[in-house]
Amino acid sequence: MDMTLRWYGKGFDSVSLKQIRQIPMVKGVITTLYDTTPGEVWKKERIREMKQDVEAHGLKLSGIESVNIHDDIKVGLPSRDQYIENYIETLTRLGEEDIHMVCYNFMPVFDWTRSDLKKMLPDGSTCLSYDQELVDKINVENMLSSMEEKADGFILPGWEPERMARVKELFEMYKDVDEEKLFQNLVYFLKAIMPTCKKYDIRMAIHPDDPAWPVFNLPRIITGKEKIQRMLNAVPDMENGLTLCTGSLGSNPNNDIIDMIHAFKGRIHFAHVRNVNHLAPGKFDEAPHPTELGSLDIYGIMKALHDTGFDGPIRPDHGRMIWDEVAMPGYGLYDRALGARYLSGLWEAISKK
């Protein structure tokens, strides 16, 4: 287990590498070139610079989140082959820089979705929350402004304004893409990149859909055990794996995360650990990390990761905004640092049992 924190890079993140370095037990960061666009080949020099910067601060670059996938690949357009070539070139360059884990998602149009980025909790902190009834009332074209309103000027991952300006066009692109087609397009992509992943020992870790059900009638294919198993079986190479995101999978109370950890043993390449509070069907708040404060058994999750020999990067996922911090929603320093301490504490106790 390699305890890390997500870092968006200089100029994008309010948290510095120096601060991250001072969180006990955090040894690495998960980062990206945040200003690249899906489909673009990442420049060698920029990858090297990013890595050197992280290492100069005494940290390890433990993986990339995300190398985003161009929509033509998800939709399955003829132009996808060129974009897959570009993706392979980016993977090659990452491999040459000794970077071995890449997180990505295969969600159409929107990445993660929330109805509120600043829901006030009784203790005065704020959290991200989701309410299907509210989302149903949002006109998709206004979705960006509704997210931006409470983002304190930060560009949210997956909600880049240039992309959202094309939201109508994107919906149009996906109109004939159902679950099966999206799944086949994912398999096509994975099969094409596997030889490069093998050559450079790059573990691909698909991020589950968040929340774990279809939103705005768009297909979602990484939502629960059966679908994930199907994806892993379709491309059985061990380099084709999963990001175990407990908050995304845990948004659906029917998902048994501990059971999934055992079922996907050896194929979980990255873990995002956080807690959620189930309020009603289709309605949840993001909770502080400890088991007692949410609906998920975080101890059981860490124990299952430990007992199945998980050895990849792990990061405390989304935190609340506490102590008057102003940061990218979900990605402040303080609550995630508390999360890192809690998760490493659990790990130590579990390891000594």
What amino acid positions are annotated as catalytic residues?
207, 245, 272, 317-318, 331
Q: Is 104 in the site for ligand DNO (CB under 6 A)?
A: yes
- Are 334 and 319 spatial neighbours (Cβ–Cβ below 8 Å)? yes
For the chain, count helices (H), then strands (E).
14, 12
Q: Is 286 in the site for ligand DNO (CB under 6 A)?
A: no
Q: Which amino acid is at 128?
A: L
Residue 221 CB, shortest distance to ligand DNO, in Å, is: 13
Binding letters toward ligand DNO, positions 301-330, x by CB under 6 A: -----------------------------x
Q: Is 157 in the site for ligand DNO (CB under 6 A)?
A: yes
* Residue 2 vs 65, nearer CB to ligand DNO: 65
Question: Which region, judged by CB under 6 A, interacts with ligand DNO, from 99-107, 117-125, 176-184, 250-258?
Answer: 99-107
* Position among 3, 42, 54, 65 found at the interface with ligand DNO (CB under 6 A): 65
CA 123 to chain centre: 27
Residue 163 CB, shortest distance to ligand DNO, in Å, is: 12
* Position among 31, 62, 105, 240 found at the interface with ligand DNO (CB under 6 A): 105
* Residue 105 vs 125, nearer CB to ligand DNO: 105
Closest CA to 228 of 246, 209, 211, 253: 209
Closest CA to 312 of 60, 23, 36: 60
* Residue 271 vs 303, nearer CB to ligand DNO: 271
Residue 311 backbone phi and psi in degrees, to 5 = -130, 20
Residue 336 CB, shortest distance to ligand DNO, in Å, is: 11
Q: Considering only residues 247 through 266, tell me which ones interact with ligand DNO, judged by CB under 6 A.
A: none
Q: Is 66 in the site for ligand DNO (CB under 6 A)?
A: yes
Closest CA to 247 of 281, 307, 207: 207
Question: Which region, judged by CB under 6 A, interacts with ligand DNO, from 77-85, 101-109, 116-124, 287-295?
Answer: 101-109
Give the DSSP per-residue string, 67-78: -PPPHHHHHT-T
* Position among 108, 158, 241, 312 found at the interface with ligand DNO (CB under 6 A): 158
Residue 247 backbone phi and psi in degrees, to 5 = -70, -40
* Position among 5, 103, 135, 190 found at the interface with ligand DNO (CB under 6 A): 103
CA 41 to chain centre: 21
* Position among 74, 207, 267, 274 found at the interface with ligand DNO (CB under 6 A): 207
Question: On the CB side of 7, how many CA atoms lie within 13 Å of its CA?
Answer: 29
Question: Which region, judged by CB under 6 A, interacts with ligand DNO, from 78-86, 87-95, 98-106, 136-144?
Answer: 98-106
**Cα dihedral across residues 221, 225, 229, 232: positive or negative:** positive
Whether residue 211 is preceded by a cis peptide bond, meaning omega within 30 degrees of 0, is yes
Q: Is 111 in the site for ligand DNO (CB under 6 A)?
A: yes
CA 349 to chain centre: 27
Q: Which amino acid is at 101?
A: M
DSSP letter, residue 321: B
* Residue 54 vs 242, nearer CB to ligand DNO: 242
**Would you state the structure tokens that stand for residue 2, as one six-digit string?**
């390699």
Which residues here bind ligand DNO, judged by CB under 6 A? 65-66, 103-105, 111-112, 157-158, 207, 330
